[in-house]
Structure 1
């Protein structure tokens, strides 16, 4: 299957990612060595798995600091190689802050990291048990944060290294939902997942209140695919687990998981 045919199976705006993944695979193949990526989301990893399965010389493993990690680094490696945990260069940092006098939120920590000029691919999951907070990063990023970042919003913080064996199990209650939608557009999926009208979903998207795979999106007609992650401000988060074909009335069957705010 040539590159043009491969890209036909994915969204047009995923073409640069496909090229990048193919470059990683080619480097691992031609230089016969492991190649480590940045942190990738589930949709990106699905594409990577699809592409690496075409190769007989290269395998792929992933890690994100804990078993259910949404953001994970990938390692492409020759078939002879046996990956070790250290190959993924992961470090957990606990956010040390005055718990009795301050409160932190996911959006504050995310905003602080992005405000330092980091891309979303530069760090992994932000974890909490509703009191304590941790973030998964690389060792280099851990050094940067410890040396240069001492506030999250107005709250003074320290970043303390934590063994990966002591990573928090996040408090997340995913609710499984099987439903049907009239189309696989973003507004239709948001409406079905949070029991909104199609018009309300459309307005939320156009007002910049919806993120797809951590990126703000303002197109209600944007096509949704398997393994996409959506977040809707003040509503919650939604993960597309699988599509199940058409009903007799030509509606699309969708299996998703939802966390309501």
Structure 2
């Protein structure tokens, strides 16, 4: 018997079950359900699982149309979703930028150190020395009181309207590669011009994520749409798998983040 799980990786089953549970809640209560922030892979799973369902509809919003991390709102057909229904707060970080530099990992580390889960935070945005981040509204007051420093910098949070959100312009540069297999270590070696041994070392040192999840298995098989990030080397995307060459290698189109 065909099941929805066959279309996804085994490790994604628990999240699929979560989406099905959200859908059931909306159907039974006939009321909207707001999720925490979802990464782009989770968003794709939600869209596929819910589909174009007349009884339960969905929207995604993370503060701007280009947001990477977004909350999902599932709702019955009578409901008209507004941006305020996503319960988001945009914070500007005020800090002595002339004397200290703050980087993305420091911001995320400081937020996580307050005992909050990653799914309570959306995108962390930078523009030169300007820093913003988006959070679930329910933790906004707590953050204002508790977040006093990031790295060595004393900070203050100022709530902003979303018309002031920093714009990002993520671009990918297509690059065709050939690889002997679709294993993660093989793809990494081809994309980043590494030896297989070096690629395996990155993976086994917990420096590689696929679809925002740490992968420690070099034999993990890559698929179309996968986002791969390697600490220190950047991000890439499997745009398409084009079949095999005459020498039985895989032809793959990779997107490299500019």
Distance in 2 separating the partners of 1:63 and 1:245: 35
Q: CA deviation at 1:57?
A: 1.2
Contact 2:209-2:230 at 8 Å conserved across structures: yes
Q: Secondary structure at the match of 1:146?
A: helix
Taking only aligned residues, the RMSD between alpha carbons, in angstroms, comes to 2.1
Distance in 1 separating the partners of 2:249 and 2:59: 36
Q: Secondary structure at the match of 1:46?
A: helix
Name the counterpart of 1:224: 222
Residue 201 (structure 2) aligned to one of 200, 203, 217: 203
Contact 1:60-1:76 at 8 Å conserved across structures: yes
Contact 1:46-1:227 at 8 Å conserved across structures: no
Contact 1:29-1:58 at 8 Å conserved across structures: yes
Q: Secondary structure at the match of 2:128?
A: coil
Contact 1:97-1:155 at 8 Å conserved across structures: yes
Name the counterpart of 2:186: 188
Q: Give me the TM-score of the superposition, normalised by structure 2.
A: 0.91
Name the counterpart of 2:118: 120
Name the counterpart of 1:22: 20
Q: CA deviation at 1:108?
A: 0.7
Name the counterpart of 1:8: 6
Name the counterpart of 2:236: 238
Q: Secondary structure at the match of 1:95?
A: strand
Q: Secondary structure at the match of 2:217?
A: coil
Name the counterpart of 1:212: 210
Q: CA deviation at 1:44?
A: 0.7
Q: Secondary structure at the match of 1:49?
A: helix
Name the counterpart of 2:175: 177
Q: Deviations over 1:13-61 (max 9, x none)?
A: 1110000000001111111111111111111111111111163311111
Q: CA deviation at 1:107?
A: 0.9
The 3 A distance-change label for structure 1 pair 68 and 181 is farther
Q: Secondary structure at the match of 1:124?
A: strand
Which deviates more, 29-38 or 99-108? 29-38
The count of aligned residue pairs is 258
Structure 2 residues not aligned, in runs of 5+: none
The 3 A distance-change label for structure 1 pair 16 and 171 is same
Q: How does 1:54-73 map to 2 (within 5 A)?
A: 55-73=53-71
The 3 A distance-change label for structure 1 pair 90 and 108 is same
Q: CA deviation at 1:247?
A: 4.4
Distance in 1 separating the partners of 2:210 and 2:177: 20
Q: CA deviation at 1:145?
A: 1.2
The 3 A distance-change label for structure 1 pair 186 and 118 is farther
Q: How does 1:65-144 map to 2 (within 5 A)?
A: 65-144=63-142
Distance in 1 separating the partners of 2:188 and 2:117: 25
Q: Give me the TM-score of the superposition, normalised by structure 1.
A: 0.90
The 3 A distance-change label for structure 1 pair 110 and 33 is same
Structure 1 residues not aligned, in runs of 5+: none
Distance in 1 separating the partners of 2:125 and 2:111: 14
Distance in 2 separating the partners of 1:13 and 1:177: 29
